[in-house]
Amino acid sequence: MTKNKQIVEKTEEVVVKYSKEAFLDASKDSNERLLLNVLLIDGQSYSKEHVATTLKDWKSKELKDLKPKEDK
């Protein structure tokens, strides 16, 4: 009796990362460029997915009023 062996190839997902400057150069508009400049750290590399998630999370944050409320 022979056994059929199934060969399973294990592939590793390659995550390409880019510098902050590369994302700034590729930004769609000045608003996106400004956000990326503030949110990303100089000298670090980021994947496209990480940057997209970071932008989405930042844009969906609730705004907080920082001014003290005046008593009337």
4-39 per-position pLDDT tens digit: 666 667 778 888 999 999 999 999 999 999 999 999
What's the rounded Cα separation, in Å, for the pair 52 and 33?
A: 13
Quote the pLDDT of residue 3.
62
**CA 23 – CA 54 distance, rounded (Å):** 13
Q: How far apart are the C-alpha atoms of 36 and 1, rounded to whole Å? A: 63
Rounded distance between C-alpha atoms, residue 20 and residue 36, angstroms: 8
Evaluate the CA torsion angle 52, 54, 59, 60 in order and state its sign: positive
**Reported pTM:** 0.68
